Structure 1
Protein backbone atom coordinates (compact mmCIF):
# COMPACT_ATOMS: atom_id res chain seq x y z
CA UNK A 1 0.00 0.00 0.00
CA UNK A 2 0.94 3.63 -0.49
CA UNK A 3 0.70 6.18 2.34
CA UNK A 4 -0.27 9.77 1.54
CA UNK A 5 0.46 12.27 4.32
CA UNK A 6 -1.04 15.76 4.34
CA UNK A 7 0.24 17.85 7.27
CA UNK A 8 -1.66 21.13 7.44
CA UNK A 9 -1.48 24.07 9.81
CA UNK A 10 -3.98 22.52 12.21
CA UNK A 11 -4.61 18.89 11.25
CA UNK A 12 -2.82 15.93 9.70
CA UNK A 13 -4.54 13.55 7.32
CA UNK A 14 -3.30 10.08 6.39
CA UNK A 15 -4.72 8.08 3.48
CA UNK A 16 -3.61 4.58 2.54
CA UNK A 17 -4.02 3.69 -1.14
CA UNK A 18 -4.48 0.12 -2.31
CA UNK A 19 -4.73 -0.80 -6.00
CA UNK A 20 -4.78 2.91 -6.93
CA UNK A 21 -7.78 3.63 -4.71
CA UNK A 22 -8.17 5.04 -1.18
CA UNK A 23 -8.33 2.12 1.25
CA UNK A 24 -8.27 3.65 4.75
CA UNK A 25 -7.84 7.12 6.20
CA UNK A 26 -7.20 8.87 9.50
CA UNK A 27 -7.23 12.50 10.59
CA UNK A 28 -6.07 14.09 13.83
CA UNK A 29 -5.11 17.43 15.36
CA UNK A 30 -1.40 18.19 15.04
CA UNK A 31 0.33 17.40 18.33
CA UNK A 32 3.81 15.88 18.09
CA UNK A 33 5.87 13.42 16.09
CA UNK A 34 5.15 10.52 18.46
CA UNK A 35 1.40 10.82 17.87
CA UNK A 36 2.00 11.00 14.13
CA UNK A 37 4.17 7.86 14.16
CA UNK A 38 1.55 5.92 16.11
CA UNK A 39 -1.20 6.93 13.68
CA UNK A 40 0.94 6.05 10.64
CA UNK A 41 1.49 2.49 11.90
CA UNK A 42 -2.19 1.59 11.67
CA UNK A 43 -1.75 -0.13 8.29
CA UNK A 44 1.33 -1.42 6.46
CA UNK A 45 2.72 0.51 3.49
CA UNK A 46 5.73 0.29 1.20
CA UNK A 47 6.28 3.94 0.26
CA UNK A 48 4.50 7.26 -0.04
CA UNK A 49 4.60 11.05 -0.11
CA UNK A 50 4.44 13.77 2.54
CA UNK A 51 3.08 17.27 2.06
CA UNK A 52 3.81 19.66 4.92
CA UNK A 53 3.00 23.37 5.09
CA UNK A 54 5.19 23.96 8.15
CA UNK A 55 8.92 23.57 8.86
CA UNK A 56 9.68 19.86 9.23
CA UNK A 57 11.59 18.49 12.21
CA UNK A 58 14.44 16.01 11.91
CA UNK A 59 12.24 13.31 13.43
CA UNK A 60 9.86 13.48 10.47
CA UNK A 61 12.73 13.52 7.98
CA UNK A 62 14.40 10.45 9.50
CA UNK A 63 11.08 8.61 9.68
CA UNK A 64 10.30 9.42 6.05
CA UNK A 65 13.70 8.23 4.84
CA UNK A 66 13.44 5.01 6.84
CA UNK A 67 9.95 4.27 5.49
CA UNK A 68 10.58 5.20 1.83
CA UNK A 69 8.48 8.37 1.76
CA UNK A 70 9.58 11.56 0.02
CA UNK A 71 8.60 15.15 0.71
CA UNK A 72 6.72 17.15 -1.89
CA UNK A 73 8.67 20.22 -2.99
CA UNK A 74 8.82 22.68 -5.87
CA UNK A 75 11.44 20.37 -7.41
CA UNK A 76 9.04 17.41 -7.63
CA UNK A 77 7.81 16.30 -11.06
CA UNK A 78 4.39 17.78 -11.81
CA UNK A 79 1.74 17.28 -14.53
CA UNK A 80 1.34 21.06 -14.78
CA UNK A 81 3.54 24.04 -15.65
CA UNK A 82 4.20 26.07 -12.52
CA UNK A 83 4.46 29.77 -13.44
CA UNK A 84 4.54 31.01 -9.84
CA UNK A 85 7.43 33.48 -9.61
CA UNK A 86 8.62 32.14 -6.25
CA UNK A 87 7.88 28.39 -6.45
CA UNK A 88 9.97 27.69 -3.34
CA UNK A 89 7.52 29.77 -1.27
CA UNK A 90 4.37 28.15 -2.67
CA UNK A 91 2.48 26.11 -0.08
CA UNK A 92 2.51 22.38 -0.78
CA UNK A 93 -1.21 22.18 -0.07
CA UNK A 94 -1.90 24.74 -2.81
CA UNK A 95 0.33 22.88 -5.24
CA UNK A 96 -1.28 19.51 -4.49
CA UNK A 97 -4.79 20.97 -4.79
CA UNK A 98 -3.99 22.38 -8.23
CA UNK A 99 -2.65 19.01 -9.39
CA UNK A 100 -5.76 17.32 -7.99
CA UNK A 101 -7.95 19.74 -9.93
CA UNK A 102 -6.05 19.00 -13.13
CA UNK A 103 -6.51 15.27 -12.54
CA UNK A 104 -10.28 15.58 -12.00
CA UNK A 105 -11.03 18.28 -14.60
CA UNK A 106 -8.45 18.07 -17.41
CA UNK A 107 -8.31 20.77 -20.10
CA UNK A 108 -10.45 23.16 -18.06
CA UNK A 109 -9.91 26.65 -16.71
CA UNK A 110 -10.17 26.03 -12.98
CA UNK A 111 -10.42 28.20 -9.88
CA UNK A 112 -9.56 26.25 -6.73
CA UNK A 113 -10.77 27.63 -3.40
CA UNK A 114 -9.25 25.92 -0.37
CA UNK A 115 -10.99 26.99 2.84
CA UNK A 116 -8.85 26.12 5.83
CA UNK A 117 -6.71 28.08 8.28
CA UNK A 118 -6.22 30.39 5.32
CA UNK A 119 -8.49 30.67 2.31
CA UNK A 120 -6.50 30.30 -0.88
CA UNK A 121 -7.61 31.03 -4.43
CA UNK A 122 -5.61 29.40 -7.23
CA UNK A 123 -6.07 29.54 -10.98
CA UNK A 124 -5.12 26.78 -13.43
CA UNK A 125 -5.65 27.31 -17.15
CA UNK A 126 -6.86 24.78 -19.69
CA UNK A 127 -3.26 24.72 -20.96
CA UNK A 128 -2.12 23.24 -17.62
CA UNK A 129 -0.51 26.52 -16.58
CA UNK A 130 -0.64 27.37 -12.90
CA UNK A 131 -0.63 31.17 -12.60
CA UNK A 132 -0.95 31.76 -8.84
CA UNK A 133 -3.84 33.28 -6.94
CA UNK A 134 -4.59 34.89 -3.59
CA UNK A 135 -4.36 34.18 0.14
CA UNK A 136 -6.93 35.40 2.65
CA UNK A 137 -7.55 34.73 6.37
CA UNK A 138 -9.78 31.76 7.14
CA UNK A 139 -12.75 31.79 9.51
CA UNK A 140 -10.73 31.00 12.64
CA UNK A 141 -8.10 33.63 11.87
CA UNK A 142 -10.79 36.28 11.38
CA UNK A 143 -12.51 35.37 14.63
CA UNK A 144 -9.20 35.28 16.50
CA UNK A 145 -8.09 38.63 15.07
CA UNK A 146 -11.28 40.35 16.26
CA UNK A 147 -10.64 39.05 19.77
CA UNK A 148 -6.88 39.62 19.83
CA UNK A 149 -6.75 43.13 18.42
CA UNK A 150 -9.73 44.64 20.25
CA UNK A 151 -10.32 45.34 23.90
CA UNK A 152 -13.65 43.65 24.57
CA UNK A 153 -14.73 41.43 21.70
CA UNK A 154 -14.89 37.77 22.79
CA UNK A 155 -13.30 34.84 20.99
CA UNK A 156 -16.25 33.22 19.23
CA UNK A 157 -16.16 29.64 18.02
CA UNK A 158 -16.82 28.97 14.35
CA UNK A 159 -18.88 25.97 15.46
CA UNK A 160 -21.75 28.37 16.20
CA UNK A 161 -23.50 28.41 12.84
CA UNK A 162 -24.68 31.80 11.63
CA UNK A 163 -28.24 31.86 10.32
CA UNK A 164 -29.13 35.56 10.33
CA UNK A 165 -27.70 38.46 8.37
CA UNK A 166 -28.32 40.80 11.30
CA UNK A 167 -26.78 39.77 14.61
CA UNK A 168 -28.81 40.69 17.70
CA UNK A 169 -25.95 40.30 20.19
CA UNK A 170 -22.16 40.58 20.08
CA UNK A 171 -21.55 36.90 19.35
CA UNK A 172 -24.06 36.69 16.51
CA UNK A 173 -22.85 40.04 15.12
CA UNK A 174 -19.28 38.73 14.94
CA UNK A 175 -20.43 35.52 13.30
CA UNK A 176 -22.53 37.45 10.79
CA UNK A 177 -19.64 39.69 9.85
CA UNK A 178 -17.12 36.87 9.50
CA UNK A 179 -19.41 34.34 7.84
CA UNK A 180 -21.28 36.64 5.46
CA UNK A 181 -18.17 38.69 4.77
CA UNK A 182 -16.28 35.57 3.72
CA UNK A 183 -19.13 34.41 1.49
CA UNK A 184 -19.23 37.82 -0.20
CA UNK A 185 -15.47 37.69 -0.69
CA UNK A 186 -15.65 34.26 -2.30
CA UNK A 187 -18.53 35.14 -4.62
CA UNK A 188 -16.83 38.38 -5.63
CA UNK A 189 -13.55 36.67 -6.50
CA UNK A 190 -15.38 33.92 -8.40
CA UNK A 191 -17.26 36.56 -10.42
CA UNK A 192 -14.03 38.37 -11.27
CA UNK A 193 -12.41 35.18 -12.54
CA UNK A 194 -15.56 34.33 -14.53
CA UNK A 195 -15.12 37.65 -16.33
CA UNK A 196 -11.58 36.66 -17.35
CA UNK A 197 -11.90 32.95 -18.13
CA UNK A 198 -14.62 31.35 -20.22
CA UNK A 199 -16.24 28.14 -19.00
CA UNK A 200 -14.56 28.44 -15.62
CA UNK A 201 -14.83 25.43 -13.31
CA UNK A 202 -14.84 26.36 -9.61
CA UNK A 203 -13.77 23.80 -7.01
CA UNK A 204 -14.22 24.24 -3.27
CA UNK A 205 -12.18 22.16 -0.84
CA UNK A 206 -10.67 22.36 2.65
CA UNK A 207 -11.81 21.71 6.19
CA UNK A 208 -14.10 24.75 6.32
CA UNK A 209 -15.67 24.14 2.90
CA UNK A 210 -18.96 22.83 4.43
CA UNK A 211 -19.60 26.33 5.83
CA UNK A 212 -19.78 27.74 2.31
CA UNK A 213 -20.69 25.12 -0.29
CA UNK A 214 -24.45 25.72 -0.01
CA UNK A 215 -24.22 29.45 0.70
CA UNK A 216 -22.33 30.60 -2.39
CA UNK A 217 -24.37 32.09 -5.21
CA UNK A 218 -22.00 30.73 -7.83
CA UNK A 219 -22.02 27.13 -9.04
CA UNK A 220 -19.16 25.18 -7.48
CA UNK A 221 -17.97 21.58 -7.16
CA UNK A 222 -17.19 20.46 -3.61
CA UNK A 223 -14.15 18.14 -3.60
CA UNK A 224 -13.00 17.41 -0.03
CA UNK A 225 -10.29 14.97 -1.18
CA UNK A 226 -8.72 17.32 -3.74
CA UNK A 227 -5.32 17.62 -2.02
CA UNK A 228 -5.08 13.86 -1.47
CA UNK A 229 -5.95 13.25 -5.13
CA UNK A 230 -3.18 15.63 -6.16
CA UNK A 231 -0.64 14.09 -3.81
CA UNK A 232 -1.31 10.60 -5.12
CA UNK A 233 -0.89 11.83 -8.70
CA UNK A 234 2.41 13.49 -7.80
CA UNK A 235 3.54 10.31 -6.07
CA UNK A 236 2.91 8.22 -9.18
CA UNK A 237 4.79 10.71 -11.38
CA UNK A 238 7.83 10.70 -9.12
CA UNK A 239 7.95 6.94 -8.64
CA UNK A 240 7.61 5.85 -12.26
CA UNK A 241 4.25 4.17 -11.72
Structure 2
Protein backbone atom coordinates (compact mmCIF):
# COMPACT_ATOMS: atom_id res chain seq x y z
CA UNK A 1 0.00 0.00 0.00
CA UNK A 2 1.02 3.58 -0.60
CA UNK A 3 1.15 6.19 2.16
CA UNK A 4 0.76 9.64 0.61
CA UNK A 5 1.69 12.66 2.72
CA UNK A 6 0.84 16.24 1.80
CA UNK A 7 2.17 18.91 4.16
CA UNK A 8 0.56 22.34 3.87
CA UNK A 9 1.19 25.47 5.88
CA UNK A 10 -1.69 24.72 8.26
CA UNK A 11 -2.35 20.97 8.10
CA UNK A 12 -0.52 17.80 7.10
CA UNK A 13 -2.71 15.21 5.37
CA UNK A 14 -1.96 11.49 5.24
CA UNK A 15 -3.76 8.99 3.02
CA UNK A 16 -3.52 5.25 2.49
CA UNK A 17 -4.00 3.91 -1.05
CA UNK A 18 -4.33 0.41 -2.43
CA UNK A 19 -3.61 0.98 -6.10
CA UNK A 20 -5.85 3.92 -7.05
CA UNK A 21 -8.33 3.28 -4.22
CA UNK A 22 -8.19 5.68 -1.29
CA UNK A 23 -8.72 3.57 1.81
CA UNK A 24 -8.32 6.11 4.62
CA UNK A 25 -7.24 9.69 5.23
CA UNK A 26 -6.11 11.58 8.31
CA UNK A 27 -5.15 15.15 9.14
CA UNK A 28 -2.85 16.70 11.74
CA UNK A 29 -1.74 20.26 12.41
CA UNK A 30 1.51 21.13 10.64
CA UNK A 31 4.44 21.35 13.05
CA UNK A 32 7.92 21.20 11.55
CA UNK A 33 9.30 20.21 14.97
CA UNK A 34 7.27 16.99 15.13
CA UNK A 35 9.59 13.99 15.14
CA UNK A 36 9.33 10.75 13.18
CA UNK A 37 8.56 8.94 16.45
CA UNK A 38 5.67 11.30 17.23
CA UNK A 39 4.23 10.83 13.74
CA UNK A 40 4.39 7.06 14.12
CA UNK A 41 2.69 6.99 17.52
CA UNK A 42 -0.19 8.96 15.97
CA UNK A 43 -0.28 7.01 12.72
CA UNK A 44 0.01 3.58 14.32
CA UNK A 45 -3.21 4.08 16.24
CA UNK A 46 -5.09 5.39 13.22
CA UNK A 47 -3.91 2.56 11.00
CA UNK A 48 -5.15 0.04 13.54
CA UNK A 49 -8.53 1.77 13.86
CA UNK A 50 -8.94 1.37 10.08
CA UNK A 51 -7.93 -2.29 10.26
CA UNK A 52 -4.42 -1.91 8.87
CA UNK A 53 -0.88 -2.33 10.15
CA UNK A 54 2.33 -0.45 9.45
CA UNK A 55 3.62 -3.55 7.66
CA UNK A 56 0.92 -3.01 5.01
CA UNK A 57 2.73 0.14 3.82
CA UNK A 58 5.39 -0.60 1.22
CA UNK A 59 5.75 2.84 -0.39
CA UNK A 60 5.69 6.46 0.78
CA UNK A 61 5.36 9.64 -1.29
CA UNK A 62 5.70 13.11 0.23
CA UNK A 63 4.93 16.61 -0.98
CA UNK A 64 5.50 19.59 1.26
CA UNK A 65 5.46 23.38 1.13
CA UNK A 66 7.18 23.37 4.54
CA UNK A 67 10.79 22.32 3.81
CA UNK A 68 11.75 21.94 7.49
CA UNK A 69 9.14 19.19 7.92
CA UNK A 70 10.74 17.00 5.26
CA UNK A 71 13.62 15.53 7.28
CA UNK A 72 11.42 13.89 9.93
CA UNK A 73 8.95 12.60 7.35
CA UNK A 74 11.74 10.97 5.38
CA UNK A 75 12.99 9.46 8.65
CA UNK A 76 9.44 8.20 9.33
CA UNK A 77 9.44 6.34 6.00
CA UNK A 78 12.89 4.86 6.56
CA UNK A 79 12.67 3.98 10.25
CA UNK A 80 9.11 2.70 10.54
CA UNK A 81 8.14 1.57 7.02
CA UNK A 82 11.55 0.47 5.78
CA UNK A 83 11.32 2.38 2.50
CA UNK A 84 12.94 5.41 0.93
CA UNK A 85 10.27 8.06 0.47
CA UNK A 86 9.71 9.47 -3.00
CA UNK A 87 9.84 13.27 -2.69
CA UNK A 88 7.42 14.84 -5.14
CA UNK A 89 8.85 17.72 -7.12
CA UNK A 90 12.44 17.32 -6.01
CA UNK A 91 13.10 18.98 -9.32
CA UNK A 92 10.51 20.41 -11.76
CA UNK A 93 11.05 17.63 -14.33
CA UNK A 94 9.99 14.96 -11.84
CA UNK A 95 6.40 16.17 -11.89
CA UNK A 96 5.87 14.61 -15.30
CA UNK A 97 3.88 17.66 -16.44
CA UNK A 98 4.93 20.84 -18.20
CA UNK A 99 5.29 23.84 -15.89
CA UNK A 100 4.82 26.66 -18.38
CA UNK A 101 5.67 29.54 -16.07
CA UNK A 102 8.69 31.83 -15.74
CA UNK A 103 9.91 30.21 -12.50
CA UNK A 104 8.90 26.52 -12.59
CA UNK A 105 11.01 25.77 -9.51
CA UNK A 106 8.75 28.03 -7.44
CA UNK A 107 5.51 26.17 -8.20
CA UNK A 108 4.22 24.75 -4.92
CA UNK A 109 4.10 20.99 -4.53
CA UNK A 110 0.40 21.09 -3.71
CA UNK A 111 -0.40 23.06 -6.86
CA UNK A 112 1.53 20.65 -9.08
CA UNK A 113 -0.25 17.68 -7.45
CA UNK A 114 -3.58 19.39 -8.01
CA UNK A 115 -2.73 19.83 -11.69
CA UNK A 116 -1.91 16.13 -12.05
CA UNK A 117 -5.15 15.13 -10.34
CA UNK A 118 -7.26 17.63 -12.29
CA UNK A 119 -5.88 16.27 -15.57
CA UNK A 120 -6.94 12.76 -14.55
CA UNK A 121 -10.45 14.07 -13.84
CA UNK A 122 -10.92 16.22 -16.95
CA UNK A 123 -8.41 15.44 -19.71
CA UNK A 124 -8.57 17.31 -22.98
CA UNK A 125 -10.13 20.53 -21.64
CA UNK A 126 -8.87 23.60 -19.81
CA UNK A 127 -9.21 23.40 -16.04
CA UNK A 128 -9.37 26.02 -13.30
CA UNK A 129 -8.41 24.57 -9.92
CA UNK A 130 -9.32 26.65 -6.86
CA UNK A 131 -7.70 25.49 -3.62
CA UNK A 132 -8.97 26.92 -0.34
CA UNK A 133 -6.17 26.72 2.21
CA UNK A 134 -3.93 29.10 4.12
CA UNK A 135 -3.84 30.91 0.79
CA UNK A 136 -6.51 30.58 -1.86
CA UNK A 137 -4.98 29.71 -5.21
CA UNK A 138 -6.51 29.75 -8.68
CA UNK A 139 -4.58 27.60 -11.20
CA UNK A 140 -4.98 27.24 -14.96
CA UNK A 141 -4.31 23.72 -16.19
CA UNK A 142 -4.21 23.22 -19.95
CA UNK A 143 -5.96 20.51 -21.99
CA UNK A 144 -2.77 18.41 -22.01
CA UNK A 145 -2.23 18.80 -18.27
CA UNK A 146 0.40 21.53 -18.25
CA UNK A 147 0.47 24.07 -15.45
CA UNK A 148 -0.02 27.46 -17.13
CA UNK A 149 -0.04 29.86 -14.16
CA UNK A 150 -2.53 31.27 -11.73
CA UNK A 151 -3.37 33.53 -8.83
CA UNK A 152 -2.49 33.59 -5.12
CA UNK A 153 -4.85 35.37 -2.71
CA UNK A 154 -4.98 35.44 1.11
CA UNK A 155 -7.04 32.59 2.50
CA UNK A 156 -10.36 33.43 4.12
CA UNK A 157 -9.16 32.54 7.63
CA UNK A 158 -5.95 34.48 7.09
CA UNK A 159 -7.96 37.51 6.00
CA UNK A 160 -10.13 37.30 9.09
CA UNK A 161 -7.13 36.84 11.40
CA UNK A 162 -5.47 39.93 9.91
CA UNK A 163 -8.63 41.96 10.42
CA UNK A 164 -9.02 40.93 14.07
CA UNK A 165 -5.31 41.41 14.80
CA UNK A 166 -5.28 44.93 13.35
CA UNK A 167 -8.52 46.20 14.93
CA UNK A 168 -8.51 46.01 18.73
CA UNK A 169 -12.28 46.23 19.20
CA UNK A 170 -13.28 43.61 16.65
CA UNK A 171 -14.16 40.20 18.14
CA UNK A 172 -12.95 36.85 16.89
CA UNK A 173 -15.70 35.10 14.91
CA UNK A 174 -16.05 31.76 13.15
CA UNK A 175 -16.34 31.64 9.39
CA UNK A 176 -19.67 30.27 8.22
CA UNK A 177 -22.29 31.03 5.61
CA UNK A 178 -24.49 33.95 6.80
CA UNK A 179 -28.04 33.07 7.79
CA UNK A 180 -29.48 35.35 5.09
CA UNK A 181 -28.43 36.87 1.79
CA UNK A 182 -28.65 40.39 3.23
CA UNK A 183 -25.46 42.41 3.03
CA UNK A 184 -26.59 44.92 5.66
CA UNK A 185 -25.52 43.72 9.09
CA UNK A 186 -27.17 44.86 12.32
CA UNK A 187 -24.37 43.83 14.70
CA UNK A 188 -20.60 44.06 14.61
CA UNK A 189 -20.31 40.28 14.29
CA UNK A 190 -22.81 40.06 11.43
CA UNK A 191 -21.12 42.92 9.61
CA UNK A 192 -17.75 41.18 9.90
CA UNK A 193 -19.21 37.90 8.67
CA UNK A 194 -20.87 39.62 5.71
CA UNK A 195 -17.68 41.44 4.82
CA UNK A 196 -15.49 38.38 4.95
CA UNK A 197 -17.91 35.83 3.51
CA UNK A 198 -19.68 37.81 0.79
CA UNK A 199 -16.49 39.70 0.02
CA UNK A 200 -14.82 36.36 -0.58
CA UNK A 201 -17.69 35.10 -2.73
CA UNK A 202 -17.40 38.26 -4.84
CA UNK A 203 -13.66 37.68 -5.21
CA UNK A 204 -14.18 34.06 -6.25
CA UNK A 205 -16.83 34.94 -8.82
CA UNK A 206 -14.84 37.88 -10.14
CA UNK A 207 -11.55 36.02 -10.55
CA UNK A 208 -13.24 33.02 -12.16
CA UNK A 209 -14.95 35.34 -14.65
CA UNK A 210 -11.71 37.17 -15.42
CA UNK A 211 -9.74 33.97 -15.95
CA UNK A 212 -12.43 32.46 -18.18
CA UNK A 213 -12.53 35.67 -20.23
CA UNK A 214 -8.74 35.66 -20.62
CA UNK A 215 -8.52 31.97 -21.55
CA UNK A 216 -11.51 32.42 -23.89
CA UNK A 217 -12.28 28.70 -23.92
CA UNK A 218 -14.61 26.52 -21.85
CA UNK A 219 -13.09 25.63 -18.47
CA UNK A 220 -13.92 22.95 -15.93
CA UNK A 221 -13.79 24.55 -12.48
CA UNK A 222 -12.62 22.22 -9.70
CA UNK A 223 -12.58 23.33 -6.06
CA UNK A 224 -10.57 21.69 -3.31
CA UNK A 225 -9.32 22.42 0.20
CA UNK A 226 -10.93 22.37 3.61
CA UNK A 227 -13.15 25.43 3.08
CA UNK A 228 -14.33 24.68 -0.46
CA UNK A 229 -17.75 23.46 0.66
CA UNK A 230 -18.28 26.69 2.61
CA UNK A 231 -18.69 28.58 -0.66
CA UNK A 232 -20.45 25.93 -2.73
CA UNK A 233 -24.00 27.05 -1.95
CA UNK A 234 -23.58 30.70 -2.89
CA UNK A 235 -20.74 30.87 -5.41
CA UNK A 236 -22.47 28.64 -8.01
CA UNK A 237 -19.24 28.57 -9.94
CA UNK A 238 -17.77 25.12 -9.28
CA UNK A 239 -18.32 22.21 -11.63
CA UNK A 240 -17.18 19.85 -8.91
CA UNK A 241 -15.62 19.80 -5.46
CA UNK A 242 -12.80 17.31 -4.88
CA UNK A 243 -11.65 17.32 -1.22
CA UNK A 244 -8.88 14.79 -1.93
CA UNK A 245 -7.51 16.41 -5.09
CA UNK A 246 -3.96 16.86 -3.78
CA UNK A 247 -3.70 13.40 -2.24
CA UNK A 248 -5.04 11.81 -5.43
CA UNK A 249 -2.46 13.81 -7.36
CA UNK A 250 0.27 12.24 -5.24
CA UNK A 251 -1.19 8.81 -5.92
CA UNK A 252 -1.25 9.45 -9.69
CA UNK A 253 2.31 10.76 -9.57
CA UNK A 254 3.47 7.62 -7.77
CA UNK A 255 1.61 5.41 -10.26
CA UNK A 256 3.31 7.23 -13.16
CA UNK A 257 6.70 6.87 -11.50
CA UNK A 258 6.17 3.16 -10.87
CA UNK A 259 5.07 2.57 -14.45
CA UNK A 260 8.17 4.33 -15.76
CA UNK A 261 10.58 2.62 -13.38
Residue 49 of structure 1: aligned partner? 61
- Whether 2:69 is the aligned partner of 1:78: answer no
Once superposed, what is the RMSD of the aligned Cα atoms?
1.9
- The equivalent position to 1:107 in structure 2, one of 124, 132, 157, is 124
Q: Answer whether contact 2:116 2:252 (CA < 8 A) is retained.
A: yes
Residue 64 of structure 1: aligned partner? 77
Q: Answer whether contact 2:232 2:238 (CA < 8 A) is retained.
A: no
Residue 21 of structure 1: aligned partner? 21
Q: State the shift of 1:237 in Å.
A: 1.9
Q: State the shift of 1:63 in Å.
A: 2.6
- Which stretch of the first structure deviates more once superposed, 197-206 or 57-66? 57-66
When residues 40 and 235 of structure 1 are mapped into structure 2, their CA distance, relative to the original with a 3 A threshold, is: farther
When residues 12 and 219 of structure 1 are mapped into structure 2, their CA distance, relative to the original with a 3 A threshold, is: closer
- The equivalent position to 2:42 in structure 1, one of 27, 39, 43, is 39
Could you list the runs of 5+ residues in structure 2 that have no partner in the other structure? Answer: 48-52
- Separation (CA, whole Å) in 2 of partners of 1:219 and 1:4: 26
The alignment partner of 2:163 has SS state of helix
Q: TM-score, normalised by structure 2?
A: 0.85
- Separation (CA, whole Å) in 1 of partners of 2:223 and 2:233: 11
Q: State the shift of 1:11 in Å.
A: 1.5
The alignment partner of 2:17 has SS state of strand
Residue 150 of structure 1: aligned partner? 167
Alpha-carbon displacement from aligned partner over 1:63-85 (angstroms, at most 9, x marks no partner) = 33443212212525334211122
Alpha-carbon displacement from aligned partner over 1:17-55 (angstroms, at most 9, x marks no partner) = 113311222222234234422233323300121111112
The alignment partner of 1:131 has SS state of strand
- Whether 2:221 is the aligned partner of 1:221: answer no
Alpha-carbon displacement from aligned partner over 1:101-147 (angstroms, at most 9, x marks no partner) = 01111111000000111100000111332111011111110110001
Residue 137 of structure 1: aligned partner? 154
- Which stretch of the first structure deviates more once superposed, 162-171 or 224-233? 162-171
Instruction: Say which structure is richer in helix.
Output: 2
The alignment partner of 1:214 has SS state of helix
- Separation (CA, whole Å) in 2 of partners of 1:189 and 1:161: 20
Q: How many residues align?
A: 240
Q: Answer whether contact 1:46 1:68 (CA < 8 A) is retained.
A: no
- Separation (CA, whole Å) in 2 of partners of 1:30 and 1:127: 33
Could you list the runs of 5+ residues in structure 1 that have no partner in the other structure? Answer: none
Residue 173 of structure 1: aligned partner? 191
